[in-house]
Amino acid sequence: MAFCNACGSSVEQGAKFCSKCGSTQPSSAAANVGVPPAPAVPARGVPATQSSVAKPLLIGVAVILVLGVLAIAGLTLIGLHIARQTRVRSKDGNVRVETPFGSVESTNNSTDLARDLGVDIYPNARLQKGNAANISVAGMHTVAAEFETDDPVDTVANFYKAKFPNATINVSSANHYSIVSTQTNNLITITLEPRGGGTWIKVANITGKNVGSSSD
């Protein structure tokens, strides 16, 4: 049922004139002109659009970036803390570096080195400058030094064999010696190599818990 636009009386559907006042009535096609169709409502269960899929992905990427920035910032702060706690001291040609994890010290003094090394230095052996260090890190203490002598390698080897009669000795075909002495919480290694008609000597003494296994 429709109604007249002029008098409001009821008119039949599709009538061109009002039966009461005679006014012309608009056709149903004209009445519908310009009326936009109602938007379609998506039914339940329709797959998510690309935008709904991309949103969680973007959030995940943003979280990873934030975590990366925080990690870099943390490492930077740790590095700054270590740098502030590091001290470098130089005296009489010796350099000592102190860090939160331990210290490293170089020395050119044969007397001090012999005391810290705890191993007899071969007589008349020359300390190689820049190749002696005293390192203390995480409960481990290492003293290492390099020397040279004009004596042949066999003579030097016999000297250290007498000092460490129970040491493990390995000799290569090139007349290179490796002497290893182990004691409880202590490890001593002596390396000998022929060089320029003489002998190159490297001595290292490592002390600390769980270092070494048996008594010399």
3-state secondary structure of 43: coil
* DSSP per-residue codes, 114-136: HHHH-SPPPTTPEEEEEEEEEEE
Give the type of residue at 62: A
Give residues with Cβ within 8 angstroms of 138, minimum separation 6: 101, 102
Give the type of residue at 83: A
State residue 79 phi and psi, 5-degree precision: -60, -40
In the chain, the largest separation of any two C-alpha atoms, in whole Å, equals: 140
**Residue 207 near residue 186, CB atoms below 8 Å:** yes
The pTM for the full model equals 0.52
Identify the CATH assignment for 102-207 out of 1.10.10, 3.30.160, 3.40.50, 3.40.710.
Answer: 3.30.160
148 vs 195: CA distance, rounded Å: 9
207 vs 186: CA distance, rounded Å: 4
Give the type of residue at 22: G
Total Cβ atoms within 10 A of residue 16: 9
How would you write the pLDDT of the chain (216 residues) with one tens digit per residue? 677 777 877 777 777 778 778 777 776 544 444 445 555 555 555 455 566 667 777 787 777 887 887 788 777 766 665 566 556 555 555 545 555 555 566 666 666 677 778 888 898 888 887 777 777 777 788 888 889 999 999 999 999 999 999 889 888 877 899 999 888 788 889 999 998 889 999 988 888 877 755 444
Domain ranges of the chain: 1-30, 102-207
